[in-house]
Amino acid sequence: MRSARILVVDDDELNRVVLEKTLSPKHKVFGVESAEAMFEWLATNSVDLILLDIVMPGMDGYEALRKLKHDERTQPIPVIIISANDSLVDEAKGLELGAMDYITKPFGSAIVRARVKNQLTIKQKNDLLEMLASIDGLTEIPNRRYFDEQLSREWRRSVRAGLPLSVVLIDIDFFKRYNDHYGHQRGDECLKKVASTLVANCQRGSDFVARYGGEEFAAVLPGSEEGTAMALAQKLKRVIEELNVAHIDSPVADHVTISMGVSTYPGFGDAQSESQLIERADKGLYKAKQQGRNTIVFFA
């Protein structure tokens, strides 16, 4: 098992030190003395597992657990309660609130190590499943499911922070003709090449590209306004042309080209939801197709 990042939340310094000794050096262990300090720490740090005490001054462990499980950013972090409260009622309450395990104090080092190992194994498997469920099988880039989830997250973040968010819908021109002419297998190869080229050229900050549908891709550009999004779309158009993948049956060029629709929030006719943002990019893409393909249209 790889080394994990573990956060110990306990007001008793001795407990923190003992747990750190128990789990180091195999794992990187951090300690904070209160639930409030935990949330502060989590705002800027990532962690694989939390060991949480219940009775603490200020916010208690149950309240902290409830809060952790209510926030989509901290909800997936497994929590093991380590508490001197040894009644079945306490244990049941902790598990019902979403803790993965409950260890009573005084604890034995071997038990702590074994239970931590179990939870980390489960987390690793869950992370792998989550990753596999988010990847498109053919192109090995993020799939539609990942796109929908992330766009929705980025949308909320942009609205909250008052920051722009752009979407680019990308469609390979005359791809049916490509398949018909070169065969489905070459079609698959072409999709893979286009996908990896789009991804390689869309790496800034939290930008990402996903496979949106058959021969459609979508780029999400958090923090980018119209000008930046259009500049990126121009670049994507150029790099796909530069791939120079032969497409002799295409009426627009002798190589593979793409058409794009771009939309930005906030725009002139402000989108009220992420689906409206996509709708507008889709209208842009439709216009780009109408205008003869191998082109980009911004839709406000």
Ligand X SMILES: Nc1nc2c(ncn2[C@@H]2O[C@H](COP(=O)(O)OP(=O)(O)OP(=O)(O)O)[C@@H](O)[C@H]2O)c(=O)[nH]1
Q: Least separation, in Å, of the C-beta of 239 and ligand X? A: 19
Of residues 201-240, those binding ligand X (CB under 6 A): 214-215
Of positions 166, 179, 294, 295, contacts ligand X by CB under 6 A = 179
- Which of 72, 130, 149, 188 is in the footprint of ligand X by CB under 6 A? 188
Output the CA–CA distances (angstroms, integers) from residue 129 to 64, 116, 149, in the order listed. 27, 20, 16
Single out the residue of 90, 101, 136, 171 in contact with ligand X (rule: CB under 6 A): 171
Nearer Cβ to ligand X (28/177): 177
Are 296 and 288 spatial neighbours (Cβ–Cβ below 8 Å)?
yes
Q: Name which of 58 and 251 has its Cβ closer to ligand X.
A: 251
Task: Find all residues with CB under 8 Å of 278, minimum gap 6, and list them.
Answer: 151, 167, 169, 218, 263
Contact region with ligand X (CB under 6 A), list: 9-17, 50-58, 171-179, 235-243: 171-179
Distance CA 252, CA 270 (A): 33
- Of the residues 72, 215, 225, 279, only one is catalytic, namely 215
To ligand X, the closest distance from the beta carbon of 260 in angstroms equals 12
Cα torsion through 20, 24, 38, 115, rounded to 10: -90
- Give yes or no: 279 in active site: no
**Is residue 46 a contact partner of residue 52, using CB atoms and an 8 Å limit?**
no
Which residue type occupies 102?
Y
The residue type at 83: S
Cβ contact 12:40 at 8 Å: no
| Candidate residues 174, 208, 265, 298; the one interacting with ligand X per rule CB under 6 A | 174
**CA dihedral over 282, 283, 289, 295, signed as positive or negative:** negative
Residue 251 interacts with ligand X (CB under 6 A)? no
Does residue 293 interact with ligand X by CB under 6 A? yes
Which residues are part of the catalytic machinery? 215
Interface residues with ligand X (CB under 6 A) are 138, 171-177, 179, 184, 187-188, 191, 214-215, 289, 293
